[in-house]
Amino acid sequence: MSGLDQASSHPSGRLRSRLRQPFFGALRACSSALASLPRLALDIALPTLCVSCREPVAGEGVCATCWAKLSFIAPPFCARLGIPFVYDPGPGLLSMQAIADPPAYQRARAAVRYDEVARTMVHALKYQDRSDLAPTMGRWMVRAGQELLGEADALIPVPLHWRRGWSRRYNQSGALASVMGKSANLPVIGNALHRVRPTLQQVGLSRADRALNVQGAFKVPPENKSIVQGRRIVLIDDVLTSGATVDACARALLRARAASVDVLVFSRVVDTLQAPI
């Protein structure tokens, strides 16, 4: 037996060992508390503010007043596009837009309408490094997309071109997908779909120009097709306006032999509450 083993087996050695354990435990607890002091001081000095009205708020990103202004999307809505209806026509009814111009994706769902508060949250996440909003927004999306997520095999965020990703430092759709993947216990495949050419900002473009802007912009590289093939995919994005971007993404995924593609976004533009056809 080595000297170290003899010392540890000696009664006095065992006593010292038992005395050291609570000491080191207390030391670790003190170290952890000291490490959290700067964050605590920052929280006290700079409390979290409502992303919309800048009033102090605890945790959720929006205050009670702005929460009341959010318009959450719930049935009745178009079974294909998720556009809200003015009355309930019964299950499975489609909007005139879904019948006249059906998208490549199967279904689209959104958590909220793209109103003033939702727009402020989206812009803060996308342009102001407010990644702390992603957990809240992602939870709302999970609730809105329960049907889609329950049938999905994987989540794929709408990708940024590498130049835009470099300038923004992160992809807001990827941040939302990460939150949702953990909540729904689904894999997030961030590298399956590529934006192979830079595109103009869609803001301000007409519906036709939006479709032309993203035409051919997305591709599943040959080495990634096996990741997509046969899988039921849910595309994740922050906003759905005309649907041109997610439609182009869905076409690329379906060309790579995805079994189906659904779309789940935080907010969608709704010009008017539509009647079913």
| Structure confidence at residue 204 (pLDDT) | 57
Q: How many residues does the chain have?
A: 277
Give the pLDDT mean for 122-136.
88
- pLDDT tens sequence across 6-44: 444 455 555 455 545 554 455 454 454 445 444 444 344
Least confident span in 47-61, 67-81, 114-128: 47-61
Amino acid at 90: G
User: Is the separation of the CB atoms in 72 and 112 below 8 Å?
Assistant: yes
User: Is the separation of the CB atoms in 89 and 276 below 8 Å?
Assistant: yes
The burial of 1, by beta-carbon neighbours within 10 Å (0-12 exposed, 13-18 middle, 19 or more buried), is given as: exposed
Query: Residue 165: pLDDT above 80?
Result: no
User: Is the separation of the CB atoms in 121 and 270 below 8 Å?
Assistant: no
Angle in degrees, CA 242, 246, 250, rounded to 5: 135
- pLDDT tens sequence across 71-99: 999 999 999 999 999 888 777 789 999 99
Question: How is residue 83 written in tokens?
Answer: 């556009």
Q: Does domain 70-268 have CATH number 3.40.50.2020?
A: yes
- pLDDT tens sequence across 194-230: 988 766 566 656 566 666 667 777 899 999 999 999 9
User: How many helices (H) and strands (E) are present in the chain, helices listed first?
Assistant: 12, 6
| Structure confidence at residue 242 (pLDDT) | 86
- Domain boundaries along the sequence of the chain: 39-69, 70-268
- 102: number of Cβ within 10 Å: 13
Give 177's pLDDT tier (boundaries 50, 70, 90): very high
User: Is the separation of the CB atoms in 244 and 271 below 8 Å?
Assistant: no
Least confident span in 79-83, 98-102, 145-149, 157-161: 157-161
| Structure confidence at residue 233 (pLDDT) | 98
Give 3's pLDDT tier (boundaries 50, 70, 90): very low
Judging by DSSP bridges, how do beta strands 194-195 and 218-219 pair with one another?
antiparallel
- Report the distance separating Cα 99 and Cα 276, nearest Å: 10
